[in-house]
Amino acid sequence: MTTRKDFLRGQRIDPKPITGRETVPELVDNAFLAYNAGRLADGCRLFTELMLEDDVTVGMSLTGAMTPAGLGMSTIIPVLEAGFIDWIVSTGANLYHDAHFGLGLTMHRGTPFADDVELREQGVVRIYDIFFDYEVLLSTDAYIREVSAAPEFQRPMSTAEYHYLLGGYILEREKALGISRKSVLGVAHQCAVPMYTSSPGDSSIGMNVAEQALTGSQLRFDPSADVNETSAIVFDAKTHGGKSGILIIGGGSPKNFVLQTEPQIQEVLGISEKGHDYYLQMTDARADTGGLSGATPAEAVSWGKVDPDKLPGTVVCYLDNTVGFPILAAYALAKRKKRRLKRLYDRREEMMRQLTEAYQEAKADRDARAEATTVGRRH
């Protein structure tokens, strides 16, 4: 039975006055004591102390217009290079807008209070308080179509394969322009971090690939490959005595895609598993509207997405990701040494072979049990 003393074991609320000389970790640990600041502090410690252990494979989902706001360069690239993120599921829009920077194109701080009719007349596109020239879209579209027409793209492929190839081309363009570390796609290529898009048709990248299909291109995104490859990543982590951690930035389809890897393994493939070990989400979505974006880790347990034994350690922070994500990254980069890159993209075939063999074994066992049951009924 829980006693009064047990309830009062938490850190005493008695913070030191802020001086202006604090590091990010000092500010988080000393001043982020309650409400969503408290949850962010919990999330920083969960990520840094547990999820970044060497035996944990960390997947990240990414929604919202994060790369147009500069978070690709300021936040995502540093954590990729530090080995803190091993695989990613992103909206296509984040990767499309990320490409602008690798192509030397610019986006600018603006205002949410501009006249949008006037912006349209002047050829300026707005993402809330970000402005950019309409030509940025046209130039990026043209580049994606040109690259995607190359011979190595003329086949069905997973979105990770497509983004890896595209990232290689963007690296070459950065080199030609004399710039570097501008594109997440480029750095993910260098670090062999596989990047998936759960809805590849729902972005300008998908739109340009669709245009090429009308002209005879053989490029097709293979959603089944994405489902199986992401499941293979999680299965590989758990099979070799490691753990799986999920960092969810926002919600939406990418959130479900990183989490559904466990139901795919357990429910569909019939392989014994318990769920992801660590779950950290930053979101502004509420749970009571019934949407997936706001669904809690407790609800995820009912689907087999999260290991029920690990539920007490899950964290959800209800805040703006443009505030919370950089703080999380700064905390982790200050507290942890870089991890060895897992380079999961290079291991896709090996991991798929492991998953396929485990599935075939589980299916054979199910079929044998079903046959035994049928024979028993006959007698």
Catalytic member of 305, 310, 335, 363:
305
- Among this protein's residues, is 305 annotated catalytic? yes
DSSP letter string, 22-83: --HHHHHHHH--SHHHHHHHHHHHIIIIIITSTTEEEEEEE-SSTTTTTHIIIIIHHHHHTT
CA separation, residue 51 to residues 181, 185, 303, 339, 365 (Å): 25, 23, 22, 11, 34
DSSP letter string, 7-29: HT-SPPS-PPPP-S---HHHHHH
Please state, in angstroms and rounded to a whole number, the distance separating the CA atoms of residues 224 and 129: 37
Q: What does the DSSP 8-state code read for residue 306?
A: B
How, if at all, do strands 156-157 and 56-62 pair? unpaired
Please state, in angstroms and rounded to a whole number, the distance separating the CA atoms of residues 225 and 274: 23
Backbone angles phi, psi at 131, to 5 degrees: -115, 145
Task: Evaluate whether 34 touches 10 at the Cβ level (below 8 Å).
Answer: no
CA separation, residue 13 to residues 8, 16, 31, 184, 186 (Å): 11, 10, 9, 40, 44
Which uninterrupted H or E stretch holds 90? strand 87-90
Q: Is 315 helix (H, G, I), strand (E, B) or coil?
A: strand
As annotated, the active-site residues are 305
